[in-house]
Structure 1
Amino acid sequence: MDFKRIEIIFLCVFVALDIFLFFSYNQSRNAVVMTNNSSPTTLAKEMSQDNIVLDQTPSDRPSQGYYLASKDSNILQNHPDLKNQAVTYDGNKRQLHSVLDVPWTVNRTAPQKTLNRLKNKDQNILYGNQYQYAPHLSDQHNLVYVQKQGSGQFYSREGQLIFQIVGRKVVGYQQTYINGVTFLREKQNTISERRAIEILYTNNEIPSGARIRWIDLAYKRLLRVRESTVYIPVWYVGFVNKNSKVPEIRRINAFNGTIIKDTSN
C-alpha cells in the first residue's frame, strides 16, 4: 500500500475542507442575518397563518455529527458469493447492478419486511446487514435502503441499496457502498429540527399550505477531493404541497444552516 500517496490525498482533503468551511462560514453569517428578524413565537404564528401544518412537533434540541471522509473503493466489483442473479459492475459510478434469475415475492403491504430478511443473506446482497430501510426515500416502485454506520445513516447516493419492484416481485437491485469512513473532525453540535424548518420557511423554501411530513438527519456528500469524498450531516425536510400533492424534499446543512440546492441525495 502506498502510504505516502494516501497521506497526500488526506492532506488535500483537509485543505479543501478548510477552504470550504471558510467560505461556508461567511455564507452562513449572511444567512443568520436574513433569518433572525423574527422570534420563534412570531415565526410559528406566521407559519400558522400561511396554513403550514407539521405532522410532528420539531425538536428544539441540537443534534450532533461529524465531518466524515471515505476513499473511493471498487469493493463491490468482487462478488463471488452472490447467487441466482446476473450481476454487472459500473466502475465509473462504482455501482453494482443485479437482475434476479427468479424474482423475490414480497409482502404486498410491507415489502420491506421480506427484504429485511433477504438482504442479510450473503448470497443475496453484499454487506446487506449494513443497510436499513429508508421509507422517506422510497416509493411503490423503488424500495430504498441506506447505509448506516456508527456515525449515522447516509442518504448520499454513494451508499444506497435500491430494489426495483414490479407488482409483488423484486426483479433486481442497484447497490453502492461507502467503504472505510474516517473522522475529519471531532463531534460537534448541529442546528435543531425547529431551526432547520424556520430557516427554510423564512427563505421561502416551504410554500403556503404545505404539510411537513417528516424531518431526518443523515449524511450527504459535501465535496470530492481527488479520490475521496467528504460528508456532512444534513437535515432532510419532507413536505407535500397542497396544490400539486407531490412530495418534495428540502435539504439544509445541519452545521451552519445553509440551504443546499443540490437535489441529489
Structure 2
Amino acid sequence: MDFKRIELIFLCAFLSLNLFLCYSYYQGKINQAQNTEVNSVATIETRLTSDKISFPKKLSEDVSEGYYLSAAATDFTEIEHDYTPKESQNKYTFGMAFSTPEKISNKLSDKEWLSFIKENPQIALGKDYKSVHKLTDNKEVRTFSQIYEELPFNDETSELVLEEVEESKGSLLVTGFMQSHLSEIEPLREKQELITEKEAIDTLYMGNKIPYEGSILQTQLAYTRIFTIRGKNVYVPAWFVLIKDNKKNVHMERVNAFANSIISPNVSEVKK
C-alpha cells in the first residue's frame, strides 16, 4: 500500500477541515455582530413593549449638535419700556394683567402667535421669543421661549407664559402674561454631538424612570440650566421626556444630551 499517498490524503483532508472550521468560525462572528447590531436597534423598543410602556413613534437615532452656553438673566428694570416693573418687584421676571383682555382665535398658527407677542407693546422684548408650545406638563398655559441656533430653551429663566381663558368655542381671552428673559447668550465650548432620542429613552428606562404600563407622551431636545456661577447661568442641551404612569400622573424627566446622564431637579448655585 502506498503510505505516502495515504499520508497526503489525510493531510489534504485535515487542511480542508481546518479551512472549513475557520470559515465557519469567522462567518459566525460576522453573523453574531450583525445580529447584535440588529438587536441593539430593537432592544429598547422591545423592552418598552414587554413592559407595556407605550410610546408615540419609532425612537429617533438622528444625531444633533449643541453647545455649553452661558447667559445672564435680563434685568427688566434696565429696559426702556412703558410697562417696566418698579424697583420693589422681582427685577428678573415681569408680568401684568392686560387692562383690556385680548380676544384671540384658538386656531392661530405658531407664526401668528409669535406675531401677536412681538407686536404687543405691553410685552417686553417680544421679538426674542421664537419657540412656541414648549414641552410642559401643564397644558393650561401657552409658553414661548428663546432659541439659540435652532435649539430652544426649556427653562424658567427664558419663558413667556400667556394667561388664557376660553371665552367661547373657537376663541380665547388672553388676560395677561408673565415672562423671564436671557441676555448675553454665548457658547463656552465648540459645538459637540448629542445623544439621540433613543439613547435618552434607554437611559431613563435603565434608571427606572419609566414605570411599568406607563406612557412616553412627548420628547423635546432643548437647553436647560444646570448651575449658576457668579450671576451667570450655564446651560446644556437635554432631552426632555414627558411621562405618564399607570395612575395617570404626569411628570418630566431630563437627560443630559452630552453626558447621557439623568439630570436632578435641583439647580445649584456655585459661589466663587
Q: Do the two structures share a fold, i.e. TM-score over 0.5?
A: yes
Unpaired runs of 5+ residues, structure 2, are: 1-38, 167-171, 268-272
1:152-191 correspondence runs (5 A): 152-167=151-166, 168-191=172-195
Q: Do the aligned partners of residues 133 and 263 (structure 1) sit closer, same or farther apart at CA in structure 2, a change above 3 Å counting? A: farther
Higher RCO (CA < 8 A, seq sep 6+): 1
What residue in structure 2 maps to residue 17 of structure 1?
Answer: none
Residue range with higher mean Cα deviation, 180-189 or 89-98 = 89-98
Unpaired runs of 5+ residues, structure 1, are: 1-37
Quick one: distance in 1 between partners of 2:86 and 2:132?
23
The structure with the largest alpha-carbon Rg is 2
Q: Is the 8 A contact 1:71 1:227 kept in 2?
A: yes
Quick one: distance in 2 between partners of 1:232 and 1:95?
22
Q: Do the aligned partners of residues 163 and 72 (structure 1) sit closer, same or farther apart at CA in structure 2, a change above 3 Å counting? A: closer
TM-score, length-scaled by structure 2: 0.73
Quick one: distance in 2 between partners of 1:223 and 1:199?
22
How many residue pairs align between the two structures? 223
Quick one: distance in 1 between partners of 2:181 and 2:200?
28
Alpha-carbon RMSD across the aligned residues, in angstroms, is 2.6
What residue in structure 1 maps to residue 116 of structure 2?
Answer: 118
Deviations 1:79-116 (A, max 9, x none): 4355xxx9557764600111100011122455967633
Q: Is the 8 A contact 2:68 2:188 kept in 1?
A: yes
Q: Do the aligned partners of residues 107 and 139 (structure 1) sit closer, same or farther apart at CA in structure 2, a change above 3 Å counting? A: farther
> Which residue, out of 235, 251, 256, partners 2:254?
251
Residue range with higher mean Cα deviation, 222-231 or 141-150 = 141-150
1:46-195 correspondence runs (5 A): 46-75=47-76, 77-81=78-82, 92=90, 94-108=92-106, 115-121=113-119, 123-131=121-129, 132-137=131-136, 139-150=138-149, 152-167=151-166, 168-195=172-199
Give the percent of matched residue pairs that are identical in Structure 1 and Structure 2: 26
Q: Do the aligned partners of residues 193 and 139 (structure 1) sit closer, same or farther apart at CA in structure 2, a change above 3 Å counting? A: same
Q: Secondary structure of the equivalent of 2:216?
A: strand
Quick one: distance in 2 between partners of 1:70 and 1:90?
24
**Could you tell me how far 1:190 is from its partner in structure 2?**
1.0
Deviations 1:18-42 (A, max 9, x none): xxxxxxxxxxxxxxxxxxxx94534
Counterpart residue type for residue 70 of structure 1: A
What residue in structure 2 maps to residue 200 of structure 1?
Answer: 204
TM-score, length-scaled by structure 1: 0.75
Q: Secondary structure of the equivalent of 1:191?
A: coil
Deviations 1:34-53 (A, max 9, x none): xxxx9453433222110112
**Could you tell me how far 1:127 is from its partner in structure 2?**
2.1
Q: Is the 8 A contact 1:140 1:165 kept in 2?
A: no
What residue in structure 1 maps to residue 214 of structure 2?
Answer: 210
